[in-house]
Structure 1
């Protein structure tokens, strides 16, 4: 199972994703708060964290990447040790993919009035000049000979 994205956890804790994000955070909270089975049959050791403390600490300071990483780690450990928790976490991750958190997305804004011609988007503008006047191909050259009449 892939670990839960630290960026996703931090974004959800901070309220990203609107109502869908709030529902995803509530779903994770409910999953983490499920009772941890600590029986002798190889379930969660008594020393392991349920994740509840990490969840609360991240909610207190969503910008703290260390807290998000701690929650992600606890979720992975608990999922490795508890099959029921793992299946619940997998189902939660499928639903959380619908949340748009801005993690890894690109937003393009074109501004400054009317745009005539192509808009250049990207990161590598090597060998391009943006300060030269545009070349007008639809006008005859100024030094072209006048047509004879």
Structure 2
């Protein structure tokens, strides 16, 4: 399983996705707070010491709740989740299931950019929440239509020839 991205964790911790995002975040909290048992130790003391040496992710989750935009805290949570998933197949399965559902959560005002067919004349910006942008253009942004392109006889070209005829310079 690939690690859960820090960006996804900060987004969910910060309330991205409205009610669906809140439910995904709550479900992750419930998953992290499940008892953490890993390995096949030789005794209760051995199991307890290994549990203390490896984070369940609860401390990292709590830290991210305190500062949802902190990418470093989100990365620590991502690492704790990945380590726990590597040590517990039960947790890994539950985390994969949670992640499949959480990935469907989209930000409020999510953006899906798509250009299909045709020719775009001029700048095309794709994204969300642009600010402080100045777009300048040089000349016409649209296609140039010359009189000859408009199915009629055009005005004489600069050399005096009629663009719609094959004859030479016009007398005038």
Provide the TM-score with structure 1 as the length reference.
0.72
1:132 paired with 2:139, answer yes
Provide the C-alpha distance between the structure 1 equivalents of 2:67 and 2:112, rounded to a whole number of angstroms.
25
How far off its partner does 1:106 sit? 5.8
After TM superposition, the structure 1 stretch with the greater mean CA deviation from structure 2, 130-139 or 86-95, is 130-139
Which residue of structure 2 aligns with residue 75 of structure 1? 81
User: What residue is the counterpart of 1:95 in the other structure?
Assistant: 101
Q: Residues 46-65 of structure 1 correspond to what in structure 2 (within 5 A)?
A: 46-65=52-71
Change (3 A) 1:51 1:136: same
Q: In 2 relative to 1, CA 93–143 (structure 1 residues): closer, same or farther, beyond 3 Å? A: same
Contact 1:5–1:72 (8 Å) recurs in 2: yes
Number of aligned residue pairs: give it.
131
Cα deviation per residue 1:2-25 (whole Å; 9 max; x = unaligned)? 111111001000000111111111
Q: Give 4+ residue runs of structure 1 displaced > 6 Å after superposition.
A: none
Residue equivalent to 1:113: none
Q: Does the 8 A contact of 2:36 with 2:51 survive in 1? A: no
Give the Cα–Cα distance (whole angstroms) in 2 for the partners of residues 98 and 29 of structure 1.
Answer: 18
Q: Who wins on radius of gyration, i.e. which is larger?
A: 2
The answer to whether the Cα contact below 8 Å between 1:55 and 1:71 also exists between their aligned partners in 2 is yes
* CA distance 1:84–1:132, shift in 2 (3 Å): same
* Superposed CA RMSD: 3.2
Which residue matches 1:11?
Answer: 11
CA offsets 1:31-79 (integer angstroms, 9 cap, x no match): 0011112675487532111111110111111111100000000000001
CA contact (8 A) 2:31 2:95 kept: yes
| 1:85 equivalenced with 2:91 (yes/no) | yes
The DSSP-based 3-state class of the residue aligned with 2:138 is coil
Q: Which structure ranks higher in relative contact order (CA pairs < 8 Å, sequence separation ≥ 6)?
A: 1
Partner SS for 2:52: coil
Partner SS, residue 86 of structure 2: helix
